[in-house]
Chain A
Amino acid sequence: MVAPPPEPYTDNEKYDALVRMNTELLSELWIMRDRMMVMEHLLETKLGLASKEIDDFDPPPELESKLLAERDALVRRVVGAPWNDHWTVESILKNKGR
């Protein structure tokens, strides 16, 4: 088994842990962006759907409402994380999380 680092690199293992968490998230973000770019490329080359069409796309009302709900939920989960320290069954169902 590979041994853990002998000591934290930032003088505080909590900061080390936070940096590692942040880096994992950044990595996940890049992997998704990479996948999106691959998908756009494949859509264009195989189906003729140019990425400009995605840029110019105006979501219809039924999709816009879904996007709005997902966007608000994401902001609440991430930005509101430090304050989301009380929850109930109802709030979990309503917020799809804390």
Chain B
Amino acid sequence: MRRENHMMLDEKRLDQSTNASPTLGAKIQLPQRGRAGMQFLGALQHYTGGELRAIARAEFEADPDGRDIIARKDEPTGHGWRQRIAERRAVAERSLSYQFERLYQRYVAEEIYVRGIPAIEHRRAQAEAFMTLPPGPRLGSLELDPNLEMPRYYKDIEWHLMPGGWDGYDIMSPMMASATAPLVFKRGGWAAVEVGDDNFQQRLDVAKQFRAKFRNIYEPGSGGSHTLCMMHRVYPEAELHGSDLSAYLLTAGHISAEKLRIPVHLKQRDSRNTREPNDHYEAVITYALQHEMTVQCGIDTFKEMYRIMKPGGEIVVCDVPPFHAVSPFQSVILDWDTKNRGEPFFSSTREIEWADMMRDIGFTDVEAYSIGKQGYPYIQRGRKPLSI
């Protein structure tokens, strides 16, 4: 979910708050067929993810077995989730509303690319210009590493049903910015994002979860730089640094940040080995990254963040809520993404309360809480102790 949010920052709003000088230009106007077809998907997902899912949830809660599942209060976290989810899913699937809502959820997840790609191809020249920076000095930097070995867990995955994966289509970023984000995602109702949720506001709310100011911040898995640019909005004085495995996303993120006149420094790195110095960053943020890596990779990433953080520094993690933090019905909705939306690690990483993992690694003052509907966005935050 992190980078299906390729949503470009709302430039006007950003401009109003930061006095930045956006030069990104207006989003690309799609041809009528493409625009209307994408808007139809937005309407379909808005209705089915809202009204139809609410009916399915009510039917789950009215089912005798569903009531029995909801009434159980003594289930431990971290164990037996596959069996528990299977039991819950069997109840949910009795509902025709659930079956159809899931079918439509899948249909929209496929069609945002099936329709979006031909639509943006009609505007290829504009899209290529969107992906190009004019000559001149740069505020930030981009360092790609063509020799970086892609982890086995990451290779060949078509995340979110995206044909070819993150690096599979040269104008995916303008497609997402001009078609998918404003015409479909903006209305909510996908994955953990509820109907009516404002994705832009959610990211801003997450950026505000730090308890202290900082001079520099690092984001592993920074994708299209959307979170770092949002951090700039809240903390305009902070140095912004990020890394990702995807050369395409880093390039798109570099271009976006430069056009927004936000200095962002990006490197192509594995988040388990950032090659950053010890005790350097006063803050770290991760946004919807955990669920896109294996549990072990997530643990190793936290260890690496601990290493590069200054003593006293703070980390804020935002992701989909763990299963224990949502209703039984919602846990079925979240689990569904694993097999049906190109999210192979969604369920395994939701079986864990990562706040516990953070404590085990050494973080202190660790808290876990939700700041949205149905548990999303879910925040885990902690500090690296001043003395170790």
**By the criterion CB–CB under 8 Å, are B107 and A23 in contact?**
yes
B100 to A6, Cβ gap below 8 A? no
Instruction: Assess whether A9 is in contact with B100, with CB atoms less than 8 Å apart.
Output: yes
Q: Does B86 contact A (CB under 8 A)?
A: no
Q: How far is the CA of A19 from the CA of B339 in the complex (A)?
A: 20
Q: Let me know if B40 and A30 touch, CB within 8 A.
A: yes
- Give A25-43 as 1s and 0s: 1 = Cβ < 8 Å from B's Cβ atoms: 0110011001100100000
* Residue pair B161, A10 in contact (C-beta under 8 Å): no
Instruction: Look across to chain A and name the residue whose beta carbon is closest to the beta carbon of B98.
Output: A9
When chains A and B are docked, how far (Å) is the Cα of A31 from the Cα of B93?
Answer: 32
- Residues of chain B contacted by A5 (CB below 8 angstroms): 106, 340
Bound together, the chains give a CA A84 to CA B334 distance in angstroms of 45
Q: Determine the distance from Cα of A27 to Cα of B114 in the docked complex, in whole angstroms.
A: 13
Counting contact residues on chain B (CB < 8 A from A), the size range is 20 to 34
- The reply to whether the CB of B33 lies closer than 8 angstroms to some CB of chain A is yes
> Which one of A11, A16, A31 contacts B37 once the chains associate, using CB atoms below 8 Å?
A31
**A20 near B: Cβ within 8 Å?**
yes
In the complex, are the beta carbons of B110 and A10 less than 8 A apart? no
Q: Assess whether B106 is in contact with A9, with CB atoms less than 8 Å apart.
A: yes
Q: Cα distance A3–B156 when bound, in Å?
A: 12
Interface residue? B99 (CB, 8 A):
yes
Q: Is the CB of B37 within 8 A of A27?
A: yes
Q: Is B163 an interface residue (CB 8 A)?
A: yes
Max chain B CB contacts within 10 Å: which of A2, A20, A23, A31? A2
Do B103 and A10 have beta carbons less than 8 Å apart? yes
Give min CB distance, A61 to chain B, whole Å.
33
- What's the Cα separation between A67 and B106 when bound, in Å? 38
Q: Which chain B residues (1-43) contact chain A, with CB distance < 8 Å?
A: 32-33, 35-37, 39-41, 43
Q: Is B163 a contact partner of A2 (Cβ separation < 8 A)?
A: yes
Within 8 A of A (CB), among B247-272: none
Residues of chain B with a CB closer than 8 A to A23's CB: 44, 104, 107
Complex Cα distance A23/B41, Å?
Answer: 10
Instruction: For A33, give the chain B residue with the smallest CB separation.
Output: B36
Whether B104 and A6, one on each chain, are in contact in the complex, defined by CB atoms closer than 8 angstroms, is: no
How many angstroms between the C-alpha atoms of A95 and B57 in the bound complex? 47
What chain A residues lie within 8 Å of B93 (beta carbons)?
Answer: 11
B158 within 8 A of A: yes
6 pairs of A and B residues whose beta carbons are closest in the complex: A9-B103, A34-B36, A31-B36, A30-B40, A27-B40, A10-B99
Residues of A near any B CB (own CB < 8 A): 1-3, 5-6, 9-11, 16, 19-20, 23, 26-27, 30-31, 34-35, 38
Interface residues of B (CB under 8 A from A): 32-33, 35-37, 39-41, 43-44, 93, 96, 99-100, 102-104, 106-107, 110, 113, 158, 161-163, 339-340, 342
